[in-house]
Amino acid sequence: MAQAVQPKSTVLITGASSGIGATYADRFAKRGHNLVLVARDAARLNALATRLRTATGVKVDVLPTDLSVTADLAKVEKRLRDDAAIGILVNNAGMAAPGGFADGDPDIMEALIKVNVTAVTRLAAAAVKRFLAQGKGDIINIASVLGLAPEIGLGAYSASKSFVLTLSQSLNAELGSRGLYVQAVLPAATRTEIWERSGRDVNKLAGVMDVGELVDAALAGFDRRETVTIPPLPDAAQWEAFNAARQAMLPNFANERAAPRYRAAS
């Protein structure tokens, strides 16, 4: 007797109404995954859901949600905790801010941190508890190359993406041996609406990647089970050398004495 085919994991995607999130929804639907789509714009979510249901036949639920609002975020956390079909979380929702740090609005920075840091953390935490109980689960966190480039003066945004990268690496180190896989995706400039919302003209930028190419590259890294995927980086050895240099420092962090270069000559 032939074995029954196991249904594919449902994928919950935040920031799914446009751009990277909507493209992930399209790609996972074409792979046969049911979807839970999360974003603020209910009309666009419903239009996308209708299109994907018609085109692919998958089940698509929508959760109109503002992840900067605690009560809304709690609804998505609950869905992740309670829905045993969800096996993949795509933490894509993000917020940018105009200008650098010195001329930035602290209220906008706080809102950015709520979406880019707090929501990512809380949703991952909600998913991880159930994934561990089930012995498997995947998390895709959308970071940015700016998390590796503090010289590019985007202040809190770059710092938030550095957090997402480090969180992803830390989760893999802690939970990888227990059946979980976490991928950090580091896009460079990508043609999405985030530029317009942050007061920038994407058409004046050089080297902007098409969103479809970005997501397809990220999914190639996902299929290979990469911990860190950097779609615009041609030479993987550069990342490997960077990461090896970081790891080479680790034994020194346990030194009981300050390095000689910091001690006054006697």
Name the residues annotated as catalytic. 157
Pair 90, 15: CB distance under 8 Å: no
Pair 90, 21: CB distance under 8 Å: yes
Backbone angles phi, psi at 137, to 5 degrees: 160, 150
Question: What is the greatest pairwise CA distance in the chain?
Answer: 81
How far is residue 193 from each of residues 18, 19, 67, 146, 155, measured CA to CA in Å?
8, 7, 17, 18, 20
In three-state secondary structure terms, 57 is coil
> Which tokens hold the place of 58?
């998958």
How far is residue 133 from each of residues 81, 88, 126, 130, 180, measured CA to CA in Å?
11, 14, 12, 5, 11
Pair 162, 117: CB distance under 8 Å: no
